[in-house]
């Protein structure tokens, strides 16, 4: 079960965190993985970990011409692109007053326009044979979280794009879903805590972990496991859905 043998997958933001875990698992399950990341070194390190049918490509997902060129190059060497995982994204702390126009634009360009750019470029290539698209949303698209104004906006847009794409391309045998994680223990989280709460790293890590009713943060591999299922043939009847993976955050945080 959950074999991706013979599948060709694009994973954006695959050089670290959740994207890295997805790339590693997809490769383990037999997929040819193309890791698109602004951090070329991080992407190359993941390819070295895979030690197989994987490729690292530096790409700024907010730049449509770059995306067009990269995807065209991948398509030129493959008969199809079977899986697209739109994982690349950035976070931001702030409310409507403290979020600058520059920050809002930066998050829009990466978290929203970046997803659009990949959809705009890959969907025409999938229409002939079908395919699977998985977008990375967040629990912030479903519930109010303090000081996540711009981030919540972008992740709400990701859910909307997911539903629209699923509806528009269902007759082309293209499935589109999204995942909404709560806090996941990634290098970004460790860096954020160290920068924001110097000297209180352990205390703040525990505090943030306990905001999930289950009492801990998710591990990137747990998100990757759900991504594998949704991108596999075993999930062939699933499209147009948003899947929270949140340790009870949405339903049990009363």
Distance between CA atoms of residues 43 and 49, nearest Å: 10
Sheet bearing 83-86, strands edge to edge: 54-58, 32-37, 8-12, 83-86, 131-136, 174-181, 242-245
| 124 and 197 within one domain | no
Same domain, 127 and 205: no
Residue 3 domain flag: no
What does the DSSP 8-state code read for residue 219?
P
Retrieve residue 131's tokens. 């395919």
SS3 23: helix
151 is catalytic: yes
**What predicted TM-score, i.e. pTM, was given to this entire model?**
0.96
Q: Which structural domain, as residue segments, surrounds residue 210?
A: 184-217
Angle made by CA atoms 25, 29, 30, in degrees to the nearest 5? 120
User: Where does residue 198 rank: exposed (0-12), middle (13-18), buried (19+ CB within 10 A)?
Assistant: exposed
Rounded distance between C-alpha atoms, residue 52 and residue 62, angstroms: 28
Domain shared by 120 and 164, yes or no: yes
Show pLDDT as tens, one digit a residue, over the chain (254 residues).
999 999 999 999 999 999 999 999 999 999 999 999 999 999 999 999 999 899 999 999 999 999 999 999 999 998 899 999 999 999 999 999 999 999 999 999 999 999 999 999 999 999 999 999 999 999 999 999 999 999 999 999 999 999 999 999 999 999 999 999 999 999 889 988 998 899 999 999 999 999 999 999 999 999 999 999 999 999 999 999 999 999 999 999 76
Task: Examine the domain organization and report whether 18 and 112 are in the same domain.
Answer: yes
| From 55, 151, 169, 243, the catalytic residue | 151
Say whether both 91 and 177 belong to one domain.
yes
Region for residue 240 given its phi and psi (left: phi exceeds 0; alpha: psi -120 to 50; beta: otherwise): left
Question: 29 with 132, same domain?
Answer: yes
Co-location of 125 and 177 in the same domain:
yes
Please check whether residue 73 lies inside any domain of the structure: yes
Residue 198 shares a structural domain with residue 126: no
* Whole-number Cα distances in Å, 111 to 40, 128, 133, 249: 19, 27, 16, 22
The tokens describing 76, both together, are 């030129």
* Residue 150 and residue 39 in one domain: yes
């Amino acid at each position: 079960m959950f074999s991706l043998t013979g599948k060709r997958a694009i994973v954006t933001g695959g050089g670290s965190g959740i994207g890295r875990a997805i790339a590693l698992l997809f490769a383990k399950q037999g997929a040819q993985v193309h890791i698109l990341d602004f951090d070329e070194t991080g992407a190359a390190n993941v390819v070295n970990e895979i030690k197989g049918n994987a490729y690292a490509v530096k790409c700024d997902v907010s730049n449509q011409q770059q995306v067009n060129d990269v995807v065209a190059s991948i398509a030129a060497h493959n008969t199809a692109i079977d899986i697209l995982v739109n994982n690349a994204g950035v976070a931001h702390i702030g409310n409507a007053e403290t979020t600058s126009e520059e920050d809002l634009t930066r998050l829009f360009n990466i978290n929203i326009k970046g997803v659009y750019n990949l959809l705009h470029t890959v969907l025409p290539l999938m229409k002939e044979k079908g395919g699977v698209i998985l977008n990375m949303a967040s629990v912030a698209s479903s519930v109010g979280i303090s000081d996540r104004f711009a981030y919540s906006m972008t992740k709400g847009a990701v859910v909307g794009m997911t539903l629209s794409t699923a509806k528009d391309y269902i007759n082309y045998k293209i499935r589109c879903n999204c995942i909404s994680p709560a806090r996941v223990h990634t290098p970004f989280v460790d860096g954020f805590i160290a920068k924001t709460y110097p000297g209180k790293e352990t205390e703040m890590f525990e505090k943030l972990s306990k905001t999930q009713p289950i009492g801990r943060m998710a591990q990137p591999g747990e998100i990757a496991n759900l991504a594998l299922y949704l991108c596999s043939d075993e999930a062939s009847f699933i499209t147009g859905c948003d899947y929270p993976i949140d340790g009870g955050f949405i339903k049990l945080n009363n």
